[in-house]
Amino acid sequence: MVEALAKPLSDSVQMYLVKIKRLEEQINPVPLSFLADSLCISPVSVNEMCRKMQEQNLIDYQPYKGASLTPAGEREALQVLRRHRLWEVFLVEKLRFSFEQAHKMADELEHATSSDLADRLDDFLGNPPVNPQGKEIPRGEEKQTQLKTLPLSALCAGEEGYCLMEGLAQNIQDYLNQAGIHNGGMLQVRGKTAEMMLLAASGEHVSLALQLCQEIRIIKTEKNKQPQVSRPAGRAGTEAIIKEKVHMEKTETIKLNQVRLDRMKIGQKGTVVSVGGKGPIKQRMMDMGLVPGSEVKILRVAPLGDPIELTLKGYNLSVRKNEAKAVLVEIEAEE
């Protein structure tokens, strides 16, 4: 039995192990009829394969009940899942495939990936804890540990983490996906107020209400600390310290600055936080595209301050000053 485990597992055996591992989240032991339907394979073929896998000590098969992974089978399944989900991250984040495309390609790549290649791929990607669907990427342990998460609202400016959106309504997830926020993606907090958060996601800035941020879970990442460098004594050392201090002041974290649209200056850019007002006026502004998350830039202002011309989603738009007063915009400004 030990000799059997020492041999590389066939692609078919790996496929069965991963499928059983996934189905165990729903039912355990996994009925063979359930397994056959999931694999689109005849029950007879599934029964024969499961008996072979039991001889290899990969599963525990109980007639009329089903199959469950042994500790050895669990280890093998986790390794295949690890390779699969690492490829999903690579294909989605680096090559810009859709998740559906990445998932299909990862089904093939997982079998042709050595442990060394998986380790290098993991390091190259920065050791992501989850795949683009927010599913944990195993680290090789026999049992997966529960991921430690916290609300996005608990993060401070400059902190970052991987996004998890399980449990959110589908329409909210769709909105977040359109804004560049998706399961398994990296989020960085760029600014925070009592009501809003400004986030960096997929190369864009997105503003979300703090109430919504409380519903989004985050796997917080710890940034590497900069190593301490010894400074030479005397005047040269003092000058080096002063230069470093000036550099740090210039690279302070971007902080959030919220103003009404009517108070923005010509050339200023910002992201719409909220649209106030009510009735036809509010509806008109939202119909024009002035909705939370949209980016605006002030082009010109009439001599008496009314109307205000701005660019929005690639076209120019004029709004009355009294309408602009109801629109709150986030402006980034370096301290």
Q: Domain residues of the chain, as ranges?
A: 2-69, 150-221, 256-333
Distance CA 67, CA 8 (A): 21
CATH topology for 256-333 is SH3 type barrels. (2.30.30)
The pLDDT of residue 239 is 55
The pLDDT of residue 124 is 92
Domains 150-221 and 256-333 share a fold: yes
The pLDDT of residue 142 is 44
The pLDDT of residue 76 is 92
What angle, 0 to 180 degrees and rounded to 10, lies between the N-to-C axes of helices 43-55 and 32-39? 110
End-to-end CA distance of the chain: 66
Instruction: Report the run of H or E that residue 273 belongs to, with start and end.
Output: strand 269-275
Distance CA 235, CA 273 (A): 49
Q: Is 67 exposed, middle or buried (0-12, 13-18, 19+ CB in 10 A)?
A: buried
Distance CA 328, CA 324 (A): 8
The pLDDT of residue 335 is 44
The pLDDT of residue 49 is 92
Range 2-69 has CATH code 1.10.8.60: no
Strand partners, 206: 199
Distances (CA, A) of 34 to 2, 18, 19, 68, 73: 29, 14, 11, 13, 19
The pLDDT of residue 145 is 58
**How many beta carbons lie within 10 A of that of residue 66, not counting itself?**
22
Distance CA 211, CA 161 (A): 18
Please list the pLDDT of the chain residue by residue as tens digits (335 residues).
444 445 678 999 999 999 999 899 888 899 999 999 989 999 899 999 999 999 999 999 888 889 999 999 999 999 999 999 999 999 998 898 988 999 999 999 999 999 899 999 999 998 888 898 888 899 755 445 567 889 999 998 889 988 888 777 787 888 888 888 888 888 999 888 878 888 888 778 888 888 888 889 898 887 543 333 334 445 555 555 445 444 434 434 444 567 888 888 888 888 887 777 666 767 777 777 777 777 888 888 887 778 888 888 777 888 888 788 888 887 765 44
The pLDDT of residue 1 is 41
The pLDDT of residue 52 is 92
The pLDDT of residue 104 is 93
Which CATH number does 150-221 carry?
Answer: 2.30.30.90
Q: Which of 177, 163, 175, 154 is nearest to 216 (CA)?
A: 163
